[in-house]
Structure 1
Amino acid sequence: MTIRLLTAATLLAASLIPMRAEALDAPKGEVILTVTAPKLEHPNVDGTAQFDRAMLEALDGRTGRMETPWTEGSVSFSGPLLRAVLDAAGAHGTSLKVIALNDYAADVPMEDATAIDTMLATRMDGEPMSVRDKGPLFLVYPFDKDPGLFNEKYFSRSVWQIKTIEVSE
C-alpha cells in the first residue's frame, strides 16, 4: 500500500512539473522568417530563432477561406498560428514589430497572437506563397471566423512579404 501511494505521489508530482519545450532545430532550407526578442528561450542561430518553410508548416496551424481587401474573391490561406511560431521560438513580450522584405513595418499587440487565431500564411489556395503573391509569409487575421476584424485597424497590421518579427517587452 505504501509503495502504491509513493508511486502515485511521484507520478502526480512529475505531472505537475512543467515540461521543457523542445529546442528549436536549425533550419535546413532557406530561412524565410527570423524572430528576435530580448529574452529568446529557443534561439537556433546567433541568438535568433530562424525558420524555414518546413519548420513553420510543421507547427500548429489553421486553414481559412476568406475574402480580403488584397485578394480577388474568396481564397484559402493556410499556415502556422502566430502564437505557435512565438512559442516555438520561446519569444515572450507585449508587442511585435512585423517587418516586410521592403522594410515596411507594423506594430502588432501581443494579444493579436495570443487571443486571436492570426496565422502566418505560407500558402494561398494550397500553393506556397511567392514574393510576387504576398509571400513568403503573410500575417492573416481570421476574417472568416470573426467578421468584426474586417476593418482598417486589422488591415494595417496585415503585413505581407514578412521577413522578421521583433518581440518587445
Structure 2
Amino acid sequence: MLIRHCLVLATLLLSGPVLAQADAATLPAPEGAVKLVVSGQIAATNRGAEAHLDLDLLEPLPGHELTTSTSVTDGVNHFEGFLMRDLLERLGASGETAIALALNDYVVEIPLQDFYDYDVILATHMDGQRLTRRDKGPLWIVYPRDDHAELQDIRYDYRWVWQLHRLEIE
C-alpha cells in the first residue's frame, strides 16, 4: 500500500507541468522579473485572480517563429516567441477580447479570435536578439502580416502591441 501511494505521488509530481495547464492551483509563482500580468477570465492564476509571468514561466510553451515586415521597422524581420493561443490555453482563458496594455500606456482591444485565426505570436526575440525596452520589448504582439493580405490593414497594425505588460481577458 505504501508503495502504491509513493507511485501515485511520484506520478503527480512528474506530471505537474502538464496539469498546470488546467489546474489554477498549480501555476507556479514567478522566480524572475514579472514581464506579463494576465487577468480577467482565466482559470490558472498564481497571485490572487491574476497570472504573473516571468520569461521562465513562458518557456514551456511551444516556441514559434515567423518572418514578416512591420509598419514600424525597416524591411523584413525574423521573430521568435510563443503563439498567443498557446498562452491563452495554458491559462484557461475564455472570453472574446483581450485588452492589451503597454509600458508606454498604449491600450488596445484585440479580439481573441485573432489568436485562433492567425499565428499571432508573443515575441521575445527579433532578428536573433532578445527584445528589450529600447527595441519594443521585452514582449511584442506580432501578427504574420506578410502571410495574409488582410493583416496589412491599419486595423491590425493597431493591434501590434510592443512593450506589452498586461492583458485583461474579457
Shorter-chain TM band = 0.7 to 0.9
TM-score where L is the length of structure 1: 0.82
Report how many residues are paired: 149
Rounded to whole Å, the distance in 2 between the matches of 1:128 and 1:47 is 29
**Structure 1 counterpart of 2:119, from 102, 117, 139:** 117
Rounded to whole Å, the distance in 2 between the matches of 1:50 and 1:128 is 20
Q: CA RMSD in A?
A: 1.6
Partner of 1:77: 79
Percent sequence identity over aligned pairs:
38
Equivalent residues of 1:56, 1:79 under 8 A apart: no
Equivalent residues of 2:22, 2:43 under 8 A apart: no
**Structure 1 counterpart of 2:34, from 31, 35, 44:** 31
Equivalent residues of 1:135, 1:160 under 8 A apart: yes
Rounded to whole Å, the distance in 1 between the matches of 2:103 and 2:163 is 6
TM-score where L is the length of structure 2: 0.81
Instruction: Name the SS for the 1:122 alignment partner.
Output: strand
Q: Moved runs in structure 1, 4+ residues, more than 3 A?
A: none
Structure number with bigger Rg: 1
Listed one character per residue, the Cα deviations across residues 19-44 of structure 1 (whole Å, up to 9, x for unaligned) are 8725322111111000001x421101
**Structure 2 counterpart of 1:158, from 153, 157, 160:** 160
Unaligned runs of 5+ in 1: 1-18
Instruction: Flag the structure with higher helix content.
Output: 2
Instruction: Name the SS for the 2:146 alignment partner.
Output: coil
